[in-house]
A and B are shown apart, each in its own frame.
Chain A
Amino acid sequence: MTGGMSGLGEMDELYEAIILDHYRSPRNTAPVEGADVDLEVNNPFCGDEFHIQLKVEDDAVSEVGITGRGCAISQASASLLAELVKGKSTDQVHDAVDSIRRLLKGEEITDEEADVLGDIEALGGVRKFPVRVKCALLSWVGLDDALTEHLSK
């Protein structure tokens, strides 16, 4: 019963098929043994919370585990994040977080950046729903801060 009189069709940009897929079947949810980065992020505004664990070997993310609870957007975003960071160098992760921030702010990203983001570009639909941008960014911002802190150790 989408679209039509109810107006729910407008939501398709927010809830693209790939988003709903990651929401229903989040990837990389297994806990990481001996994680180098282990943090809880939460959005006090809505109460969403995620537990993010990373193993960093030779300056690259070798293992990732994200569990938590939140709305479809924050859950899908966390799952997409987990897929992306695996095998990436910390610099690449940082750049990707920068790309996604700009994407969600409504700024242009380059074709190269879009290639790196892949499926994650689907999150761009959140732009039309500004109050939901925080949902999409929650795990990304937390992860970026935690990685930066880990590297400075």
Chain B
Amino acid sequence: MSNSESGSGVGSRAFDVDSIRADFPILNRKINGQQLVYLDNAATTQKPAQVIKSLTDYYEQTNANVHRGVHTLSIEATDGYELARTKVAKFINAPRREEVIWTRNTSESLNLVAATWAEANLSEGDNIVITMMEHHSNIVPWQQLAFKKGAEVRYLQHDDEGVIDIDGAGGVIDSRTKIVAATHMSNVLGTINPIAKLAELAHDVGALILVDAAQSVPHMPVDVQALDADFLCFSAHKMLGPTGIGVLWGRYDLLEAMPPYMFGGDMILEVTYEDANWNDLPYKFEAGTPNIADAFATGAAVDYLSALGMENVWKHEQELTAYAMEQVLSLDNVKVLGPQDPALRGGVISFIHDTIHPHDLGTALDQQGIAIRTGHHCAMPLVRSYGVVAAARASFYIYNTKSEVDAFVNGISETEGYFSR
């Protein structure tokens, strides 16, 4: 079948940035006449030829609907779709493949938990504990649920460098806490949060821990069992995969007890004119024809990363981040948000320039072919807590190099020169 070469036998491959870069057609692009330097990886990553090919292969050779046909194509489509689920399960060390639910993205995964598990388990006076550095998608669903239920959203504090006050967490998480929902790695500060420790505090009071792993699963080894997580969410497009598909992983017993999120085809076992009952996991949460092609491509993305080894991915990004932090911090007019110690953070560097607004900087860097993110990064309360309305952010991935970091830092200096003319 079409996905045989990205099948179960994933070989390993040396972590060689030049050979990695050769897999990414878009890196050859010129932007405004300059060589593209893509540093907006926390927003979405670029896609290697292997992932793009898995999509065209699927549509050219396998396309059919899943779980319902007896014809060959439908069987192949189903096998490939389910094989991708198995790959994802292995990638995060899930105990069972049925615990991996395909969603549209991290936001949908978070909304699913809020609308099903939390809807069924929260009462008036209960509380939900999140951090002050969450993405809007891990704030707003909880706020809305809390309004509806008469529950409370509580915040874990962090210090000036964006490090969670874990000693103070015991005073926030209490007997009325039903769930602790925390980002594994902040998309603004780069902070890596102590999830296993938060899980322990949550479990001590009988609460669950949900992990927003959108910024961690793509970049470091993540093991849901080692974290002692109850739910974990991420998106494929931030880890070389396609847009439009994400993952909710949840503990089997929790998922089993939860009501469905959406109703329709594939999620039912039996329908009468009077009633219906629900299919087994994971299908109970996958109503309608799923995103089959993108599941195939997600499998290809997991294969690509697995062959490199997530330890090596993490090591590369740590080296690059340390190098970039040193360079950026040496600039006179730049303040970096989040931990100043590279060992405490991932490859996301948000910064504020004393005199140049992030959007002016973003436009100027774009003129030099350098793509960074500017704005509130979907974390308005956090960015505002630093006394600004917007920040600039550079974020790295497997194909970025030290010379690209140099180009970026030089680009900031060029922009300073331009605006002080």
Residues of A within 8 A of B (CB): 1-2, 6-8, 10-11, 14-15, 20, 45-49, 69-73, 129, 132, 135
Contact = CB atoms under 8 A, between A and B. Distances in A.
Chain B interface size band reads 20 to 34
B276 interface: no
7 closest cross-chain pairs (CB), A and B:
A47-B389, A1-B417, A71-B357, A71-B359, A47-B390, A7-B367, A6-B414
Given A1-B414, A47-B376, A73-B359, 13 more contacts: A1-B418, A7-B33, A8-B364, A11-B363, A15-B418, A15-B419, A46-B374, A47-B380, A47-B388, A48-B390, A70-B389, A71-B359, A135-B359
A49 B388 CA distance: 11
Contacts, number: 69
A47 B415 CA distance: 21
B357 A11 contact: no
Contacts of A45: 375
A133 to B, nearest CB: 12
B363 A132 contact: yes
B34 interface: yes
Contacts of A49: 389
A132 B421 contact: no
A11 B390 contact: no
B360 A73 contact: yes
Chain B CB count within 10 A is highest, among A11, A20, A73, for A11
A14 B380 contact: no
Nearest to A3: B418
Contacts of A71: 357-360
22 contacts: A1-B418, A6-B367, A6-B368, A6-B411, A6-B414, A7-B32, A7-B33, A8-B415, A10-B367, A11-B363, A11-B364, A11-B367, A46-B374, A46-B389, A47-B375, A47-B376, A47-B380, A47-B390, A49-B389, A70-B357, A129-B363, A132-B363
Interface string B383-394: 110001110000
A69 B415 CA distance: 20
B246 interface: no
A72 B421 CA distance: 14
Counting chain B CB atoms within 10 Å of each CB, the highest count among A10, A45, A73 belongs to A10
Among B388, B415, B419, find the residue whose CB has the most chain A CB atoms closer than 10 A.
Answer: B419
B48 interface: no
Interface in B80-128: none
